[in-house]
């Protein structure tokens, strides 16, 4: 397998704005660590892998961005571009380096949950741009 699992999220909302249900959270099990982060235009977050802890990342976007990954040390890098607006959930397997790059003109948002709170984050570059 070389495709990084990505699940589109259905948008719900009204005049107040949009809402997404985070499908797939139960696959991670109990969440031990979570954070919310923005990625400004022209910047990258990620450029790392986790050897032991599971990760589930929701990306909420309103412009162009790209997902970059490899499938382990010494493997080719892959990427997928997303445009428009919406949200997806990304579930990187252990040892797969991954990064989110904002290729658009507006901030995009990440909600990231891990099943462990330890510092099992190891740098590995999968695209041009910022590191971890």
Q: What is the mean pLDDT of the chain?
A: 90
| Local confidence band at 29 (pLDDT 50, 70, 90 cut-offs) | confident
Map residue 27 onto helix, strand or coil: helix
Of the chain, the percentage scoring pLDDT greater than 90 comes to 64
> Is pLDDT above 70 for 5?
yes
Q: Of 63, 67, 66, nearest to 105 (Cα)?
A: 63
Give the pLDDT confidence of 9-27 residue by residue, as tens digits. Answer: 887 777 777 777 776 666 7
pTM above 0.85, yes or no: yes
| Local confidence band at 131 (pLDDT 50, 70, 90 cut-offs) | low
Q: What are the Cα distances from residue 39, in Å, to 15, 26, 32, 51, 108?
A: 25, 25, 23, 24, 5
15 and 24 Cβ atoms separated by less than 8 Å:
no
> Is pLDDT above 90 for 104?
yes
Q: Give residue 2's pLDDT.
A: 82
| Local confidence band at 84 (pLDDT 50, 70, 90 cut-offs) | very high
Q: Of 104, 67, 70, nearest to 1 (Cα)?
A: 70
Domains detected in the chain: 26-123 (2.60.120.10)
Mean pLDDT to the nearest integer, 108-117: 92
Mean pLDDT to the nearest integer, 99-123: 94
Mean pLDDT to the nearest integer, 79-108: 96
Q: Give residue 10's pLDDT.
A: 80
């Amino acid at each position: 397998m070389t495709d990084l699992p990505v699940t589109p999220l259905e948008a719900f909302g009204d005049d107040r704005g949009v809402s997404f249900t985070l499908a797939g959270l139960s696959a991670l099990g109990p969440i031990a660590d979570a954070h919310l982060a923005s990625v400004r235009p022209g910047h990258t977050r990620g450029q790392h892998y986790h050897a032991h802890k599971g990760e589930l990342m929701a990306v909420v976007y309103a412009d162009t961005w790209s997902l970059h990954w490899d499938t382990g040390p010494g493997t080719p890098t892959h990427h997928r571009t997303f445009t428009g607006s919406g949200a997806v959930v990304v579930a990187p397997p252990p040892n797969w380096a991954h990064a989110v790059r904002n290729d658009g003109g507006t901030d995009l948002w990440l909600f990231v949950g891990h099943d462990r709170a330890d510092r099992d984050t190891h740098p590995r570059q999968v695209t041009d741009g910022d590191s971890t």
